[in-house]
Chain A
Amino acid sequence: MNKNYFEIKRAGINTTFQDQGRSNLYHIGIPFSGAMDNRNFQISNKLVGNEVNFPIIEFAYQGPLLKYFGESINFAITGDVKFIIRKKNNTIEGKCYQSFALENGDELDIISTNKSVYGYLAVSGEFDVNYQWSSCSVNTKANIGANNGKKIEDGQKIYILNINKNLSDKKLNYINTKIENIRVIQGTNFDYFSDEGKKIFFEKEFVISKLSDRMGMRLEGSKIENIVDTNIKSEGLLKGVIQVPADGNPIIMLSDHGTIGGYPKIGVVISADYDKLVQLTPGSKIKFKKVELADAETLFKLYDLETQNLISQI
């Protein structure tokens, strides 16, 4: 049997297998996980002719350096990513949203993301990964998912099965846009905060802290004053929920969040803005803008339609 595989020369900072994530497990303490930026995840798969929910490799900031062995294969990278392909006799500058071929012995060097956090690597085949609860998504906290629930490490091999022989070049004209205004719906503990605190939340800028990862995004700025209680009886969390602990600095729950928490919820990021939110790098400034439920529902429909349109253009 032919073995097609990547040898990992450099793993990168936070490189994991992800897919659409796993559902209906909050009650036992397991979050969705899954690709942080769902749109870019799905597009990467479509660019190599896969079903949109196939396992991909997600990386953050510095990506992996992979050496390929095996029969010709296509790959695509999405996000805002700088990468090069080293072939025997030449080096090719990579472009996102476009498929490229890899031959035996080629190296793919994913140097870094540009002013964004996450990028996605899909190949025209299936990564040989194990699934737990129908998902390969790695949750490093509970060691669940592919690769024994761990990040991809230096020196390991990643096998690829069922390579699609009908390789055709695919391309999408798309540029990631950035947002500074994050739209939120008021949280269930909105009234725990002083009038001044509420005003700060919706009017002042916050800076994204370095202490942000797949679990949560910490923000720094003017302190939001709590006038009721800095703790609530622990209850469920969701991705996008903004909690404000006693120190007055908001924390936004992201895809690998703890499933329950005891800090008051001042707001929830609307579903339409989640993919863009997770791409904001530490040091970026953001502002929260209040929207009502009905508007949030419409905005998500539009966002989802746009994603479907992009996918159908490929």
Chain B
Amino acid sequence: MIKNISNLGDAALYCDFGSEVNKEINSKVIRYFKSIQKENIDGINNLTPSYNKLIISFDLRKKNFKTIKKLIENLDITNDDELETNRIKIPVCCDENFSLDIKRLEKKLQITRDKIYEKFFGKEFFCYMTGFIAGMPFLGDLENELQAKRLETPRVKVPKGSVGLTEQFANVYTFESPGGWNIIGNTPQVIFDSTNENNPNLINPGDVVTFEQITKEQYYNYNE
């Protein structure tokens, strides 16, 4: 199922599953990721699944490219198991203090904000990957009508909890961070919790996510 394995530097395998972004290819990546994780191979010190790539990095004191490549090629990855998925509902408030780019989006997409929200909240998203900053989920896929490019000048600070759109994807900023996604609302829900070491991410690759619109009052009362 891996199309090609090459090296990324001297301490990582770059496993290429294809060039497209779709659930089918991504599910293969996630399946490999979970299987390798279970194997607990000595010397592997990180796995990074993404849309259509899996990067396996290793401790060069213990292993090298050839040895890890051979191990991975000889792994028996079963195709039939259903991926474990959780269904998660994320509350989002779209008050004007939170929906920083909704006006910009109305212009860019040439549709009203009501239409944008109707489509966004009516949708089931698939989590392709998490990362960039801790716990940030990359969710897809938005229909063509909701697809917009990043901001031309990224914000220096996107507020924590911001829900953003770019191209076919939605995400949630788990921390205040620089960023260029089009922000349409904010969630009071904790998406990343570093005190929960066994399960710090609320949303993990393969999960199904829906968003639910809440009022300002519900937002501020959420954690009480």
Q: Is the CB of B194 within 8 A of A238?
A: no
Q: Which residue of B is nearest A236, CB measured?
A: B48
- The answer for the CA separation of A297 and B133 in the assembled complex, in Å, is 30
- For residue B132, CB closer than 8 A to chain A, the reply is yes
Q: Which residue of B lies closest to A268 (CB)?
A: B9
Instruction: Report which residue of A233, A265, A270 has the largest number of chain B beta carbons within 10 angstroms of its beta carbon.
Output: A233
A28 touches B134 (CB 8 A): yes
Nearest to B65 among chain A residues (CB) is: A293
Contacts of A24 in B (CB 8 A): 44-47
Q: A60 interface residue, CB < 8 Å from B?
A: no
Contact A296 B10 (CB under 8 A): yes
Q: Which residue of B lies closest to A259 (CB)?
A: B131
Judged by a CB distance under 8 angstroms, whether A260 is at the interface is yes
A236/B10 contact (C-beta < 8 A), A29-B132, A258-B133 known: no
Other-chain contact of A258, B60, B132, B138 (Cβ < 8 Å)? B132
Say whether A23 faces chain B, with CB atoms less than 8 Å apart. yes
Of the four ranges (under 10, 10 to 19, 20 to 34, 35 or more), the interface on chain A belongs to 35 or more
In the complex, what residues of B have CB within 8 A of residue A259's CB? 48, 131-132
Bound Cα distance from A187 to B10, whole angstroms: 11
B84, chain A: closest CB distance, angstroms: 15
A305 to B138, CA, bound (A): 41
Interface 9-residue window, one of B50-58, B73-81, B87-95, B213-221 = B50-58
Bin the interface of chain B by size. 35 or more
Residues of A within 8 A of B134 (CB): 28-30, 141-142, 144
A271 within 8 Å of B (CB atoms)? yes
For residue B47, give the distance in angstroms from its CB to the closest CB of chain A: 6
Q: Which chain B residues in 131-150 approach chain A with CB under 8 Å? A: 131-136, 138
The interface centre, meaning the residue of A28, A141, A304 with most chain B CB atoms within 10 A of its CB, is A28
**CA distance in complex: A188, B15 (Å):** 11
Contacts of A23 in B (CB 8 A): 45-46
User: Does A92 reach chain B (CB closer than 8 Å)?
Assistant: no
| A269 CA / B6 CA spacing, docked (Å) | 16
Roughly how many angstroms separate A130 CA and B133 CA in the complex, as a whole number?
22
Cβ contacts under 8 Å, A237 to chain B: 48
B8 engages A265 (CB within 8 Å): yes
B10 touches A300 (CB 8 A): yes
Q: Could you list 20 further interchain pairs (A-B, Cβ under 8 angstroms) beyond the known A29-B135, A29-B201, A268-B9? A: A23-B46, A24-B47, A29-B136, A29-B174, A32-B45, A132-B194, A185-B9, A233-B21, A233-B51, A234-B132, A236-B55, A238-B55, A259-B48, A260-B50, A271-B11, A271-B60, A293-B65, A297-B10, A297-B60, A300-B10
28 contacts between A and B (CB under 8 A): A26-B48, A27-B33, A27-B46, A27-B131, A27-B205, A28-B130, A28-B131, A28-B135, A29-B130, A133-B197, A141-B177, A142-B134, A142-B194, A144-B134, A185-B7, A188-B8, A233-B19, A233-B51, A233-B52, A233-B53, A235-B50, A235-B52, A236-B131, A238-B8, A238-B11, A238-B55, A258-B132, A260-B132
Residues of A in contact with B (beta carbons under 8 Å apart)? 23-30, 32, 132-133, 141-144, 149, 185, 187-188, 233-238, 240-241, 258-261, 265, 268-271, 293, 296-297, 300, 304
